Structure 1
Amino acid sequence: MFLLSVFLLAAAQPNKAPQPTRDLVVIGRLKNLDYELISDPDDLLGHGWITAEMSIERVLRGKAPSRVIQIRYLAHTFRGEGVPLRYRLRRDEDGTYMICVKPGETGVRCR
């Protein structure tokens, strides 16, 4: 009887199509290019915008425009180069992708 109740409850729920996301989730390697310091007298670490080139090895979600894309991220130092890591990226209006940070971290919040 329990299984029948669960089935009927699930059948009564409206089907919701997955919402399209503008985020791209990839495994890729970075090559850091440029650092642009942000002048903020209250920032002791000295954050800046870093421009990098990302070589995408695998797309986990979304569609990448090419295997190599330009990205930006906010940090006080460069991220490691050449190490394949998982990144969640959000496309900016100018076509550049930004690295999304996890909750509680400093940077672009995509949630």
Structure 2
Amino acid sequence: MRSLGLIAFLLSSSAAVAQLSLQDPSMSSYNKCLREAIEDNEVKKAGDQVSYSCFGNTARSWFESLKGDKQVRDKNGLFVARYYGETGYCAHQIEDAVGKAISAYICEIVNNAPN
């Protein structure tokens, strides 16, 4: 009887592991960015919004897992932006403010602040 319980546990554990490995890469990168933002103290509150920012390889991985490109120019340069639903986005900066080629990644998750 005990071995039947162990087999059932192993089967359910295997299914859970398989389910985790099939997780959407964008969601996995979202979670990694969120964790890194908290660890690196890259959490900012503005009004009723909280933003979590990640950079470098974590941001690049998430950027590469997202689809679509939208070019955005602002005072800091030219960016290629990709969005994750309504709460997250990543940007690859391809030019600085004076038009010089550059390569830098940033991602941001924006949520409502808890009450």
TM-score greater than 0.5 by the shorter chain: no
More strand by share: 1
- TM (normalized to structure 1)? 0.31
Bigger relative contact order, structure 1 or 2 (CA pairs below 8 A, ≥6 apart): 1
